[in-house]
Amino acid sequence: MVVVLGVDIGSTTTKAALVEVTDAVSVVRVARRPTPSGVDDLLATCAVVARECAAAAAAPIAAIGIASMGESGAALDANGRALTPLLRWDRRVDRRHLDGLLAAHPGLPASTGIPATTKPAAVALGALRDEHPEVHGRMRYWAGAADLLGHALTGERATDHTLAARTMLAGLGDAWTIDVIESLGVRVDALPSLRAPGEAAGATTIAAASFGLSPGIPVHIAGHDHAVGAWAAGARRPDDTVDSLGTSEAIVRIADAVDVARAVDEGFAVGRTVDGSAATILGGSPSCGAMIAWWDQEFPEDRMRDRLAALTPAAWVASPTIVLPYPSGRQCPDPQPLARAQVFGDGDAEDRVRGLLQSLVAQSRWIRETADLLAGSPATTVTMIGSLARRIPIWAPLTAASGPPTAMCAAEEPVAAGSALLAAVRASAVDPETTILSREQVAPLNDPVRDDTYRRFRMAIDPAAVPEGES
């Protein structure tokens, strides 16, 4: 038996998972706490969830893996003290900082595989320089969320290629782009060392005792949460796809090769799998769980979250209502930062609930089918992961009704568990073939008007954009 620990620093919740690998994979303990914004509070939260899981270990922990949300980091001084809170991917940043970056480096999106948005660290550092020069002048290090925990455990400042790529400061994650970094007034050695796939960040020191861990355990920066979740759920070959549902939604498509410039123009990020073996096309929607939360705030009388959880496949009836699920812009396809939520229809609360869900599924279908075009072939499988897919049971069957064969990852906290499994593989403690989390096939929902619903969704966005023959 091999026992490993994984930590996932997510947008809303920080999770740890203790995993045992024998002939099968077992997630034996999970701990969760809300993700705080302060760096010290974040590390304290990681220590709480790590201790809770480590206390349940039936054997010494063989390796530790860390995943986190991308495009989130903090400035640190020469002593490693935080000068800023965690500057998250969903913070509000004046677009002029992005415009200035692109004016100086117009080919940056295509060379890094990252669309032109205000999320990456490259934009955050420019904003810090221009708006808070006193903080920028004192900054000695920049660290992403996973890198902060890795340093606390090992004393090493390191990251992996999937998280480096999300900063817009590394060419497709392979190496830091020196001229871009220096143009932001930052020293290259202020950034963490970029570890190759499989290379450990370091080993736990005596300081890891506060996390309930002994010294000498190899620690791996597993990577960007969506990429780690895709790998853990078995999306490791070209034509595999994962649909990750949480606060935001991410479609991760594995591919042989991608036209990077075309993909980023459509709002997709291009990178590599966590093991570096294939390309990834990542299409995100910030309005998944966030859209439901927005609706609950705007229309509390609809009880959206409760009604969605109560929907059953046997009683499903498509709604005439269409919702454009964009409370704060559309990321992809056809990026529209100024897009806003709209409701087409005048039905009752039940119609609105069903209308929102089918529209969220239509948005993910649009992302998935565009990713297929970018990859040059249709996806052969879709695996769904994430908290919303489990809390709203009808979501997966509705997705399966309009896509290739669909499975649901049955494991709790697949990103945290996947981080643990990836660390076990990298530490040569287990065979990679034994590390795919359990999945269950999803029976497609009987929805005879699904294609008509999708057509109406696309027409609500732009009637001229509906594919020929679907109008």
User: Quick one: average pLDDT of 340-366?
Assistant: 94
Asked if residue 55 lies in contact with residue 212, where contact means CB atoms within 8 angstroms, the answer is: yes
Asked if the model's pLDDT at residue 471 lies above 50, the reply is: no
User: Quick one: average pLDDT of 132-136?
Assistant: 97
User: Quick one: average pLDDT of 379-388?
Assistant: 92
Domain-embedded: residue 231: no
Torsion, Cα of 112, 113, 114, 120 (10° steps) = -30
Residue 80 in tokens: 């490693």
CA–CA separation, 70 and 121 (whole Å): 9
Domain with residue 445: its CATH number is 3.30.420.40
- Res. 466 pLDDT band, cuts 50 70 90: low
- The helix (run of H) or strand (run of E) holding residue 19 is strand 13-21
Q: Which residues contact 14 (CB under 8 A, 6 or more apart)?
A: 7, 8, 32, 33, 34, 35, 42, 45, 46, 49
Cα 392 from chain centroid (whole Å) = 19
Report the 10 Å Cβ neighbour count for 288.
24
Q: Among 226, 249, 271, give the residue marking a domain's end.
A: 226
Domain count, the chain: 2
- The helix (run of H) or strand (run of E) holding residue 220 is strand 218-224
- The helix (run of H) or strand (run of E) holding residue 222 is strand 218-224
| More confidently predicted of 468 and 224 | 224
Asked if the model's pLDDT at residue 467 lies above 70, the reply is: no
Same domain, residue pair 303 and 407: yes
Domain-embedded: residue 353: yes
- Res. 30 pLDDT band, cuts 50 70 90: very high
Asked if residue 253 lies in contact with residue 371, where contact means CB atoms within 8 angstroms, the answer is: yes
Each residue's pLDDT tens digit, 407-419: 999 898 999 999 9
Buried b (16+ CB within 10 A) or exposed e, 121-149: bbbbbbbbbeeeeeebeebbbbbbbbbbb
Domain-embedded: residue 34: yes
Asked if the model's pLDDT at residue 381 lies above 80, the reply is: yes
- Residue-level pLDDT at 336: 93
Cα 30 from chain centroid (whole Å) = 19
User: Quick one: average pLDDT of 58-70?
Assistant: 96
User: Quick one: average pLDDT of 152-177?
Assistant: 93
Same domain, residue pair 288 and 206: no
- The helix (run of H) or strand (run of E) holding residue 244 is strand 240-245
282 forms beta bridges with 252, 269
Asked if the model's pLDDT at residue 290 lies above 90, the reply is: no
Same domain, residue pair 183 and 284: no
Domain-embedded: residue 214: yes
Asked if the model's pLDDT at residue 90 lies above 90, the reply is: no
Domain-embedded: residue 390: yes
Same domain, residue pair 405 and 259: yes
Buried b (16+ CB within 10 A) or exposed e, 359-392: bbbbbbbbbbbbbbebbeeebebbbbbbbbbbeb
DSSP state of 392: S
Asked if the model's pLDDT at residue 469 lies above 70, the reply is: no
Determine the Cα angle at 73 with ends 98 and 33, to 5°: 130
Which of 236-240, 375-379, 444-448, 465-469 is predicted with the least confidence, judged by mean pLDDT? Answer: 465-469
Asked if the model's pLDDT at residue 468 lies above 60, the reply is: no
Same domain, residue pair 118 and 182: yes
CA–CA separation, 391 and 327 (whole Å): 22
Asked if residue 54 lies in contact with residue 214, where contact means CB atoms within 8 angstroms, the answer is: no
Same domain, residue pair 212 and 260: no
User: Quick one: average pLDDT of 63-79?
Assistant: 96
- The helix (run of H) or strand (run of E) holding residue 138 is helix 133-138
Which of 78-82, 170-174, 266-270, 337-341 is predicted with the least confidence, judged by mean pLDDT? Answer: 170-174
Asked if residue 401 lies in contact with residue 445, where contact means CB atoms within 8 angstroms, the answer is: yes
User: Quick one: average pLDDT of 270-275?
Assistant: 95
Q: What is the identity of the amino acid at 267?
A: G
First-last CA distance in the chain? 57
Q: How many residues does the chain have?
A: 471
Same domain, residue pair 241 and 221: no
Residue 279 in tokens: 């390309």
- Res. 389 pLDDT band, cuts 50 70 90: confident
Same domain, residue pair 279 and 161: no
CA–CA separation, 105 and 350 (whole Å): 49
pTM: predicted TM-score of the whole model, two decimal places: 0.93
Same domain, residue pair 244 and 193: no
User: Quick one: average pLDDT of 390-403?
Assistant: 92
User: Quick one: average pLDDT of 132-148?
Assistant: 97
CA–CA separation, 424 and 274 (whole Å): 14
Torsion, Cα of 158, 253, 339, 356 (10° steps) = -120
Asked if residue 456 lies in contact with residue 359, where contact means CB atoms within 8 angstroms, the answer is: no
Q: How far is CA 307 from CA 235, 352, 442, in A?
A: 32, 10, 21
Residue 471 in tokens: 């109008």
Q: Among 199, 226, 253, give the residue marking a domain's end.
A: 226
Same domain, residue pair 71 and 137: yes
Residue 258 in tokens: 């991608």
Indicate the average pLDDT of the chain. 94
Q: What is the identity of the amino acid at 155?
A: G
Domain-embedded: residue 470: no
CB-side exposure of 413: number of CA atoms within 13 Å? 29
Report the 10 Å Cβ neighbour count for 328.
17
For strands 381-385 and 218-224, give the pairing: unpaired
Domain-embedded: residue 359: yes
CA–CA separation, 244 and 237 (whole Å): 17
Residues above pLDDT 70, as percent of the chain:
98
Each residue's pLDDT tens digit, 417-428: 999 999 999 999
Asked if the model's pLDDT at residue 163 lies above 60, the reply is: yes
The residue range of the domain holding 382 is 236-465
User: Quick one: average pLDDT of 368-376?
Assistant: 96
Same domain, residue pair 322 and 362: yes
- Res. 173 pLDDT band, cuts 50 70 90: low
Q: Among 157, 191, 226, give the residue marking a domain's end.
A: 226
Report the 10 Å Cβ neighbour count for 341.
17
For strands 193-194 and 406-409, give the pairing: unpaired
Same domain, residue pair 187 and 125: yes
